[in-house]
A and B are shown apart, each in its own frame.
Chain A
Amino acid sequence: MPFDPTDITLSIVKIAIVLGALLNVTPIMVWVERRGSALIQDRPGPNRVGPFGLLQSFADALKFILKEDIVPQTANKFLYTIAPAIGLLPALTTIAVVPWGREFVLHDIHFFGRTFFTTARLFNPIVADLNVGLLVVFALASLSVYGIVVAGWSSNNKYSLFGGIRASAQMISYELALTLAAVSALLAAGSLRLTDVVWRQTGYFVLFDTIKIPAWNCFSPAMWLSMIIFFVSGFAETNRLPFDFAEAEAELVAGYHTEYSSMKFALFFMGEYMAMTTMSALVTTLFLGGWDIPWYNEPATFVGFLLSALAFVVKVSALLFVFVWVRWTIPRLKYDILMRLGWKVFLPLAVLNIVFVAFFILKGWI
């Protein structure tokens, strides 16, 4: 494997951009969540720290850092300490295989008195363009349950344990529906590579020879069911209301993180918002055309890249707002209804939907 310093620098730049964006999502989303919930519940919300309460997240973070870090005496110390990190890891790494902009040609960049890229080079805005991209997403998603389970078990608290057990049962159930729902988008693209999935959606569906609709998967009738199943299962996979049985404040105190305090608790919090962001990015990539701007051909230049990256961010932000919106609108389900929905409704529907989509593709309707 030959080492090319330019390649490595570019990779590091990409990783820095993605990680920076992902880490900054948490404070912004905390603010959006608190103000959004206030908007929905018709109250002012936090509005004292900074303009519109924008600095509230920093005040929260400061408070988290200053709080005492408590480890219960009967807890399994080692597992209790690494559980938040285990939970954060999949949320941080999954985004690596998601493309977040149109690739563009780099040439003749002057920087610090030196000229870089005298030979033109393609900049592909994705950290790891793997040919099994989506499988890696599901592999890491299947590991995300361990953070919650280990936290619940190692706390040595019955409420935490219940939270952990519920989370493991729930995430196993919904992972199947999630994976099967994503298969339809893969069938349409004919590839597991997520850049291919986006490129397939950049064209147009032409109706009656006049109306041009972007070829996003969400505009194709065959994909509607899989998109709904994927998005709802995504809620269950990220443990958000109406599926937050791992936490379930009304029944389990605070579920798996009952015993956690200070920055360890904050890590769980960050993990939740990062998982939400990753899930939104996946829905965007699989069904909403990724970085594609409708009715516009992005040029393969820096401007085209910036515009497409902006489109991607806008789509992800809209979905993140839907996450907040749903949380404060729909109450928690009953646990047996959750399991029934996963196994008896979503799973058979997702399997049938694959046949349906395959038929569409065979007929050339997608």
Chain B
Amino acid sequence: MFEYAVFFFFAAVAVIFALVVVLHRNPVVGALSLVVSFFALAVMYVLLDAPFLAALQVIVYAGAIMVLFLFVIMLLNLQHMSEPATRPIQQFLGYTTSAAFGIGLVYYLLKYAVFTALPSGPFHTEASAIGVALFESYVFPFEMVSILLLAAIVGALLLSARSVAPREVAP
């Protein structure tokens, strides 16, 4: 009973704040709502007996990534900037395409997805079990991800690197 109450409360929170992210005009409010949504998602993981995943969800998404997002938004200072006007045809195409995509997604999910109950536990969700699995069964994808991230870092460095030439001194 108690778990159902918690689940439905946080599910509602996650969905409502996800809608706020999409619908609200203010980018800072949007970013903060996304943080709340991520946090509610972390509660889902706790209910699924995966506290490790929940903690990582908060650390990585709600903590690190969204702070960076917020940092950039605040640096750009979009507070008073209004969105550029869109043409009616753009709005129409946007709404119809996304509606078609959404309906299609739900249709195919309902038609082809197979809903099965979770296997009854005990689940091995402690940090050591995840670590061992990561470095034994999944060591190749793990290393591939690290190379991918390294490539991203190098790319970001290359794009943002200042030229080596000395700066011009103002007269």
Contact = CB atoms under 8 A, between A and B. Distances in A.
Contacts of A79: 28-29, 32
A149 B67 contact: yes
Interface in B62-105: 62-64, 67-68, 70-71, 74-75, 77, 79
B3 A172 contact: no
A192 B127 contact: yes
B67 A139 contact: no
B74 A161 contact: yes
A156 B51 CA distance: 38
> In the complex, which of the residues B59, B74, B127 has the most CB atoms of chain A within 10 Å of its own CB atom?
B59
A1 B3 contact: yes
Nearest to A138: B59
Contacts of A141: 63
B8 interface: no
A143 B32 contact: no
> In the complex, which of the residues B35, B58, B68, B75 has the most CB atoms of chain A within 10 Å of its own CB atom?
B58
B126 interface: yes
**Contact residues on A (Cβ < 8 Å of other chain), bracket:** 20 to 34
Contact of A149 (B3, B26, B56, B74): B74
A259 interface: no
The B interface, classified by DSSP as helix, strand, loop or mixed, is helix
Interface in A123-173: 130-132, 135-136, 138-143, 145-146, 149-150, 152-153, 156, 161, 164-165, 168-169, 171-172
A172 B68 contact: yes
Interface string B19-43: 0000000101100100100010010
Contact of A139 (B3, B59, B74): B59
Contacts of B74: 149, 152-153, 161, 164-165, 168
Contact of A146 (B2, B35, B52, B75): B35
A153 B51 CA distance: 32
A131 B59 contact: no
B13 interface: no
A348 to B, nearest CB: 15
A237 interface: no
A284 to B, nearest CB: 22
A135 B52 contact: yes
A171 B67 contact: yes
Nearest to A158: B77
A89 to B, nearest CB: 11
Nearest to B32: A150
21 contacts: A1-B2, A79-B32, A130-B51, A135-B55, A135-B59, A135-B127, A136-B55, A139-B63, A141-B63, A142-B58, A142-B59, A142-B62, A142-B67, A146-B35, A150-B32, A156-B79, A168-B67, A172-B64, A172-B68, A175-B63, A175-B64
Interface of B: 2-3, 26, 28-29, 32, 35, 39, 42, 51-52, 54-56, 58-59, 62-64, 67-68, 70-71, 74-75, 77, 79, 126-127
Interface of A: 1, 3, 76, 79, 130-132, 135-136, 138-143, 145-146, 149-150, 152-153, 156, 161, 164-165, 168-169, 171-172, 175, 192
3 cross-chain pairs, A with B, having the tightest CB-CB distances, nearest first = A142-B63, A135-B55, A139-B58
